[in-house]
A = this chain, B = another copy of it.
Amino acid sequence: MKIKAGIIGATGYAGAELVRILLMHPQAEIAAISSVSFEGKALSEVYPSYKNLCDMECKTQDEVVAKSDVIFAALPHGLSQELAAQCDKAGKAFIDLGADFRLKSEEEYQEWYGGTFLDKELHEKSVYGLPELFRSNIQGKKIIANPGCYTTGAPLALAPAIVGKLVSTEGIIIDSKSGVTGAGRKPSQGSHYPELNEGFHAYKAANHRHTPEIEQTLSTLSGEKVTITFVPHLLPVNRGILSTCYARIREGVTFGQIRTAYETFYENEYFVRLLPDGAYADIHNIKYSNFCDISLHHDSRTNTLIAISAIDNMVKGAAGQAIQNMNIIFGLSETTGLELVPPAF
């Protein structure tokens, strides 16, 4: 019997991407979908790509919860906590693509999102779903905080060096570049084609909400409080995040040791592809797939590690990882339905 999956917020980009992947998943099926803006409308009216493939009508949240074994929520922050409680009570798995359960510290949540933890117990039951780093925590859980897009690629690029204490945890700089889908489906001046096309700029420099989430992950990995400088930029492409991460190599550590540490760390990770020396991670090569490509470079003149990761912000950075988490909590092989081949062009 297939897992019955429900999607709340199905007409946003992350929701629509969940639909795309679930439609090809051999052991799950979409039971119901909801959308506040398009209630009563067929999904294929909103996204004509899905004509004949998902003509399902958008229902209410309650209907989705009732019909599903697992509920994916792709909602603006602040709206997931009550929903999580509802799912918890009903004994359903809940995978939150929003931010409500990502930060462990309520203080940080307040500072960056301006809200409070409505139910602390619920937060304690939840787990941060970045499988390559925290897999064992995820098994057996039913409330999953799916990481944000920037917060997947950058930590994966740095994790082996941090865990192995090969780089300084001070002065880490993460310069990220994201495709436009990261900004969501709502039209705005900044994503209006003629004003974004042939343009490129940073935004929310040192001020983006994914900052504390990246720091939380790196701090957990290193065992000490890590503070980073994080600057995101907007790329004129649909999909993909490239994160160029800079960290000072600790004295006595060689670049060869770093490479070996990465090889060992990711040896058995299907979704992480460590590129050979001389190759560069490129968002071109992971589009539409759940892969995270990582390339390592050494600035020998300043003894700096340059670790670059490329992910599809909508797949490994959202819907794909959410389904990876679903696979884990339902006891499936982690790659089920996620062996998506990134097109060569």
- A residues adjacent to B (C-beta < 8 A): 13, 16-17, 19-20, 23-24, 47-53, 171, 173, 175, 177, 179-181, 185, 187-189, 191-203, 205-206, 211, 227-229, 231, 233, 235-240, 242, 244, 246, 248, 270, 273, 275, 279-288, 293, 295, 297-302, 304, 306, 308, 310, 314, 339-345
A205 close to B343 (CB less than 8 A)? no
Give bound CA distance, A187 to B184, whole Å: 14
A49 interface neighbour in B48, B300, B302, B342, Cβ under 8 Å? B342
A177 touches B233 (CB 8 A): yes
The answer to whether B206 touches A280 (Cβ under 8 A) is: no
Q: How far does the alpha carbon of A139 sit from the alpha carbon of B81 in the complex, in Å?
A: 57
CB pair A198 B287 closer than 8 Å: yes
B206–A300 contact, CB under 8 A? yes
Whether the pair A284, B238 counts as a contact (CB closer than 8 A) is: no
Contacts of A242 in B (CB 8 A): 200-202, 233
> A275–B345 contact, CB under 8 A?
no
Nearest chain B residue, comparing its CB with the CB of A52: B273
Which B residues lie within 8 Å of A20 (CB)? 341, 343-344
With A and B bound together, what is the CA distance between A231 and B301 in angstroms? 13
Cα A251 to Cα B263 in complex, Å, equals 39
> Complex formed: what's the CA distance from A310 to B244 in Å?
19
**B306 near A229: Cβ-Cβ < 8 Å:** yes
Residue of B nearest to A302 (CB): B229
* A279 / chain B contacts, CB cutoff of 8 Å: 48
Q: Which residue of B lies closest to A11 (CB)?
A: B344
- Chain B residues with CB under 8 Å of A288's CB are 288, 343
User: A246 — which chain B residues lie within 8 A by C-beta?
Assistant: 173, 175, 229, 246
How near does chain B come to A42, taking the closest CB pair, in angstroms?
11
Q: List 25 A-B contacts (CB under 8 A).
A: A48-B285, A49-B342, A51-B273, A180-B197, A181-B345, A187-B191, A187-B192, A191-B192, A191-B193, A193-B193, A193-B238, A195-B345, A197-B237, A197-B238, A198-B198, A198-B240, A199-B240, A201-B242, A202-B244, A202-B281, A205-B299, A206-B304, A228-B302, A229-B302, A231-B244
